[in-house]
Amino acid sequence: MPLITLDDLSILEGPLLGLDPGTKTLGLAISDSTRLIATPLFTINRKKFSQDAKTLFETYKEKQAAALIVGMPINMDGSHGPRAQSVRDFCTNLLRIEEIPIFLWDERLSTMAVTRTMIESDISRKKRAQNVDKLAAAYILQGLLDRLRS
């Protein structure tokens, strides 16, 4: 199954795995089976694509996810730059290994929003760095869950 639409996603049943793809890390989050709440899971420190994909697919299967929700870094003006193309390429490469439903969701300002919340909560810089990617994945996924309910 290639990249899917919002309509395709709404007919699939089960939890959704959220992914915040960065150049150095991949943040992961999971929804509950009823798709109400997104929960941060962990962060993968990127090594080689094959290793990263293996960890991602293992988590996908372990959590019995129905689809992978990938944060798409769209520019503030709505255009797609080099980072967006990199995410598309990442998804294409994942689909070459295993065909799973993948949905791209606008992630504009997700990392900034999560970082601001952690700063306001007086979380240390070290703890922020350790948690920002998985929290951004949960933020992205929660945005989609809220959209699916509306």
In a domain, 61, yes or no: yes
Confidence (pLDDT) at 110: 66
Structural domain contains residue 144: yes
Per-residue pLDDT band for 2 (boundaries 50, 70, 90) equals confident
pLDDT of residue 48: 96
Nearest to 94 by CA among 63, 67, 74, 73: 67
Total domains, the chain:
1
CATH number of the domain at 31, please.
3.30.420.140
Instruction: Flag whether 126 is in a domain.
Output: yes
pLDDT digits (tens, 9 = 90+) for 92-149: 999 999 999 999 998 866 666 666 776 777 777 776 666 678 988 998 999 999 999 9
Helix (H) or strand (E) holding 39: strand 38-45
d(CA 75, CA 112): 14
How high is the pLDDT of residue 5? 93
User: Residue 26: inside a domain, yes or no?
Assistant: yes
- At 7, the amino acid letter reads D
Residue 1 domain flag: no
**pTM of the full predicted structure?**
0.88
56, part of any domain:
yes
40: containing domain? 6-149
Q: Is 105:74 a contact under the CB 8 Å cutoff?
A: no
Higher pLDDT, residue 150 or 13: 13
125: in domain: yes
Q: How far from each other are the two terminal CA atoms of the chain, in whole angstroms?
A: 26
Task: Give the pLDDT score at 124.
Answer: 75
Model confidence over 33-91: pLDDT tens digits? 999 999 999 999 999 999 999 999 999 999 999 999 999 988 878 888 899 999 999 99
Query: For residue 113, with 0-12 CB atoms within 10 Å meaning exposed, 13-18 middle and 19 or more buried, which class applies?
Result: middle
Q: Which residue has the higher pLDDT, 87 or 150?
A: 87
